[in-house]
Structure 1
Amino acid sequence: MLALTDLPTCPGLFYGSIARDGVLSRMRIPGGILNAQQCWTIADLADQYSTGCLQVTNRANLQIREVHSSIPPEVWNRLQELGIASRRVEVDPIRNIMASPTAGIDRQQLLDTRPLVKAWDDYLQTHPEFSELSPKFSIGLDGGESVSIQALRNDILLAAGRSAKSEIVFRLHLNSDTGILIQQSQCISVLVALASAYLEYTKNRPRIDGKKPRLRHLLADWGVESYLERVQQNLPFLLQFTSCPFPKNRQDSCSTKSEFPCGVGILPARSLDSSARAIEQSPHLGIHPQRQSDFSYMGIALPLGRLESKQLRNLANLAKNLASGTLRLTPWQNLLISDIPNSHLFEIKQQIADLGLHSSATRLDSCLVACAGSSGCASATTDTQSHALAMARDLAQKLTIDLPINIHFSGCQKSCAQHRPIDITLVGIQIERGHETIEGYDIYAGRKDLPFGRPIFPAVSAAEMPGAIELLLQVYQRFREPLESVGEFVDRRAIDQLQELLNTENRNLR
């Protein structure tokens, strides 16, 4: 590991980064899948070189917090042998390849993306020129699973769909659907061409705030059309579109008319908004049947992604003894045990409880998202992690919920942990009270207004915050429609009507 003064902003495994609670080392785990041996080794590593505190991230990485001593080269070699660490050190900082945690076992999937995840990671490992990509360059592969990643942020997303001829193909998304259709056999070539064109762009543009330009900067600068033209130049086959993406005044004169055959036809892509709603209203926590007969997977809640080394070790033992020995990390900061024979479900559920964990989607500690907060990040104004867990414990004594409620704590305006509005968002602020400055939050709800939703409670102190959330949830539960989410409940009301409901309920509680 480098000297502390040399550590990068974006942590990897070989080169961690400095957080307020110590050095943070992040393991890049393509697709988020670990076997039992890998889990045991990670648990031992956390015990020996840190306080044993692990955390699943929102890209299904696994990170070790509070690393207190340098890790010797022989340990890195062992991690590489086990497939935990990148074979090429330079590739390690690049963002994890995201895929559905139910790839290969989802009953709704159109195809299994795990071979593609491996193929793309293998390509990165064997082509050193791609180590120059921005550490934030991100790829997502969605196989049409019910546990979809389509609503999650990726620079490039390949999402499986079925064509009008019943052929399974991928659609290319660059923030939005480009209309490009890609055969499974073409995926790696297209990803290489996309990454190569982006890499050339970063080499010829100045750094932004000291960092390499992101793909969004390329799209804002070049536009999607010009970017795709450069991508086409690096491909041995023609890209196919569902319809021509170029302006009408160019269709008759530009060479793209012959380069990009249009009108191939595909069934409409699944809406990203509806995908997001599906995952939030039908979460992967709990027990779900697999596509393999007589087997199920269990989604286990990890509040804020936190996992003790002994819990990881025991979960790996459990998976090894009663399932296939596989744990799957999710971008929602929890994990799955897959391939459980249905005859073992009751025993596994009991042992999960013995570890102090649970699989319920309707407990508030299952529904939390939070950034590192002031304990781990210099930009944060509030201790988001502690406040989120304290709120969940407090409200668990006062409320029973029957639908998942998604609550996001952000220590500042950057919103690093969650990039779109969800049910309830709390943004950390500093509040002047008399002669002192205290931690507090602006509280938003709903999904209509970017970036956080609609403002509900401004400038609430951290001590008063659980009461404000309790009031909002009580009004929601009292006046909602059946199966209506908090976000939907808030969005279908005028803000003055919502405030009147809150004021009336508050008076009734006094």
Structure 2
Amino acid sequence: MLALTDLPTCPGLFYGSRARDGILSRMRIPGGILNVQQCWTIANLVDRYSTGWLQVTNRANLQIRELHSEIAPSTWQELQELGLASRRVEVDPIRNMMASPTAGIDRQQLLDTRPLVAAWDDYLQTHPELSELSAKFSIGFDGGEAVSIRNLRNDILLAAERNSTNSEIVFRLYLNGDTRIIIEQSQCISVLAALTNAYVEYTKKLPRIDGKKPRLRHLLADWGAESYLEEVEKNLPFALRRSSIELSERAIAPNGNLGIHPQRQSDFSYIGIALPLGRLESKQLRNLANLAQNLASGTLRLTPWQNLVISDIPNSQIFEVKQQIADIGLHSSATRLDSCLVACAGSSGCASATTDTQSHALAMARDLAQKLTIERSINIHFSGCEKSCAQHQPIDITLVGIQIRQGNETIAGYNIFAGKKDLPFGRQIFPTVTVVEMPAAIERMLRVYQQLREPSESLGEFCDRQAIDKLQQWFNLNKSE
């Protein structure tokens, strides 16, 4: 296992994939929840086989880069016994199931989705035939939490809602964002199983697309959602209940899980901790686990926003927790620029990237932190190419890596986009900005936004309501303050 030849494109834990900076392995953490013993074991694994750091991904996985040797059989056995590795190797590469990091503790939730996450993970573990699924097959569970995952991308999403007729809590089924089915809580696993099995049968009959297993979106484009649901119903002892009521998207506060928040459990709070670009040193993971064991319930929760949550903190311990987090070298502020960054692996880890996104993003955040104070959370996305692997929807600011020709040499740079009006990145504000010029361009954008925005307006919303020529005039790099 973790053989260094014939590596798959989508990594799991047992079989990594080859990246520019070495072997990349990905550990599925169902629902993103870890206990103290698991944290200690992961930290030891990273120290022994890699370079002492790991990364939380945008599906609340843990990603280990630069693996330099094969993992010993005894280590695999320990990981399986602790629930950190799949009981069946075949299904290990399938994407992590997503859930709100505040499941079970959120004051706004309609129900606790953690039992559903555990039940679906158990179903995957006991059905090796599901290895036929695309490794990118993704399922999400939203329990109506304030820290919602409803707007994040999943092939299948079950989102809790209250039945207006009898106040019963039911789930609405979304297929690639489209919704038309209402499901009772007791039906969830049966429906997911039928949806998945119909998809598996489809993949067996269809040849690979560009060398890869067909995605669920290919099935929906081929069959249509209604035909797919009719096929699913053949394997269910009940009919699926259709609904024509469209739900409006919920507004999700950027980085709303960061900072201190009261739990639904009286006299307890949780704290969301920022991890710049999701990066976490092994010693930081150990120290956070020790903190959670000594001052809370011993639980760490990874989030799809590449940070983490410590839950079940007695309110009397909040000051001490914040002090220890600072001593570890981390913070919980949503208004620091390093809380708001998203970046792909960049040219240091990916052959497709044209820019070193990770180092450019962190250097920009450090530079601007000395020059201005951010009043509202601002999300900034660095993408090394147009694939946009790290962020699938437009956000406040997106920088897309390019190569710029200057005289006889080619240098790295970015096209800079803002807002959500145009897919996939928003509207282009600046073309061909060099890496040297880039921090000043972002600084100018942030200063103008903070001077001219409406009180509750995000940077993306501010840019969306302005004409491009007006934005370019305001953001002009040569304009003095």
TM-score normalised per structure 2: 0.98
| Cα deviation 1:354-388 (Å, max 9, x = unaligned) | 00000000000000000000011111110000000
1:373 paired residue number:
346
**Alignment counterpart, residue 391 of structure 1, candidates 356, 364, 367:** 364
Indicate the SS of the match to 1:65: strand
Q: Equivalent of 2:459, from 478, 486, 499?
A: 486
Deviations 1:181-236 (A, max 9, x none): 00010000000011011111111111111100101111111111111111111111
**Amino acid corresponding to residue 291 of structure 2 in structure 1:** L
SS in 2 for 1:279: coil
What is the deviation of 1:63? 1.4
2: CA distance between counterparts of 1:376 and 1:176? Answer: 31
By how many angstroms is 1:177 displaced? 3.5
Query: Are the aligned partners of 1:476 and 1:489 in contact in 2 as well (CA < 8 Å)?
Result: yes
Q: What displacement does 1:506 show?
A: 4.1
Q: Are 1:279 and 2:235 matched, yes or no?
A: no
Residue of structure 2 aligned with 1:340, choices 287, 296, 313: 313
CA distance in 2, matches of 1:508, 1:375: 35
Q: For residue 362 of structure 1, give the secondary structure of its aligned residue in structure 2.
A: coil
Aligned partners of 2:323 and 2:376: how far apart in 1?
23
Q: Counterpart in 1 of 2:200?
A: 199
Asked if 1:12 corresponds to 2:12, the answer is yes
Q: How far apart are 1:17 and its partner, in Å?
A: 1.0
What CA distance in whole angstroms lies between the structure 1 residues aligned with 2:105 and 2:240?
Answer: 30
1:83 aligns with 2:110: no
Q: CA deviation at 1:137?
A: 0.4
After TM superposition, give the deviation of residue 179 of structure 1 in Å.
Answer: 1.9
Q: Which amino acid aligns with 2:190?
A: S
CA RMSD, 1 decimal: 1.1
The one-letter amino acid of 1:76's match is W
Deviation of 1:508 after TM superposition, in Å, equals 2.6
Query: Quick one: which amino acid aligns to residue 82 of structure 1?
Result: L
Q: Secondary structure at the match of 2:253?
A: helix
Matched, 1:167 2:139: no
Counterparts of 2:9 and 2:176, CA distance in 1: 25
Contact conserved, 1:94 with 1:137, CA < 8 A, in 2? yes
Q: Which residue of 1 aligns with 2:374?
A: 401
Pairs within 5 Å for 1:82-481: 82-165=82-165, 166-243=167-244, 269=247, 271-272=248-249, 274-275=250-251, 278-280=252-254, 283-481=256-454
Task: After TM superposition, give the deviation of residue 461 of structure 1 in Å.
Answer: 0.7
SS in structure 1 at match of 2:381: strand
Residue 500 of structure 1: CA displacement? 2.4
Q: 1:325, 1:461 → 2: CA distance?
A: 45
Tell me if structure 1 keeps the 8 A contact 2:3–2:15.
no
- 2 CA distance for matches of 1:389 and 1:215? 35
- The aligned residue for residue 38 of structure 1 is 38
CA contact (8 A) 1:171 1:177 kept: no
Find the aligned partners of 1:18 and 1:8 in 2 and give their Cα distance.
8
**Deviation string, structure 1 residues 230-258 (Cα, Å, up to 9, x no partner):** 11111110100123xxxxxxxxxxxxxxx
Task: Specify every segment of 5 or more residues in structure 1 that has no aligned partner in the other structure, as ranges.
Answer: 244-265
Equivalent residues of 1:23, 1:67 under 8 A apart: yes
Query: Structure 1, residues 384-408: CA drift from partner, whole Å, max 9, x if none?
Result: 0000000000100111011000000
d(CA) in 1 for partners of 2:270, 2:3: 42
Residue in 2 aligned with 1:256?
none
- TM-score computed with the length of structure 1 as normaliser: 0.93
Q: 2:456 & 2:12 partners in 1: Cα distance?
A: 41
**Which segment drifts farther, 83-92 or 359-368?**
83-92
**Structure 2 CA distance, aligned partners of 1:177 and 1:3?**
40
8 Å CA contact 1:53–1:64 kept in 2: the answer is yes
Q: Which amino acid aligns with 1:179?
A: R
Match of 1:259 in 2: none
Could you tell me which residue of structure 2 aligns to residue 248 of structure 1? none
Secondary structure at the counterpart of residue 26 of structure 1:
strand
Q: Could you say what secondary structure the match of 1:403 adopts?
A: coil
SS at the partner of 1:124? helix
* Match of residue 3 from structure 2: 3
Amino acid of the residue matched to residue 14 of structure 1?
F
Contact in 1 for aligned 2:2/2:71 (Cα 8 Å): no
Which of 2-11 and 356-365 deviates more?
2-11
Q: Runs of 4+ in structure 1 displaced over 6 angstroms?
A: none
Q: Is the 8 A contact 1:471 1:506 kept in 2?
A: no
Deviates more, 1:82-91 or 1:1-10: 1-10
Cα gap change, 1:494/1:329 in structure 2, threshold over 3 Å: closer, same or farther?
A: same
- For residues 433-490 of structure 1, give each alpha carbon's deviation from its aligned partner in whole angstroms, at most 9, with x where no partner exists: 1111111100000000111001001010111110110111111111111021000000
Q: State the Cα distance separating 1:20 from its structure 2 match.
A: 1.2
Structure 2 counterpart of 1:507, which letter?
K
Q: Would you say how many aligned residue pairs link Structure 1 and Structure 2?
A: 480
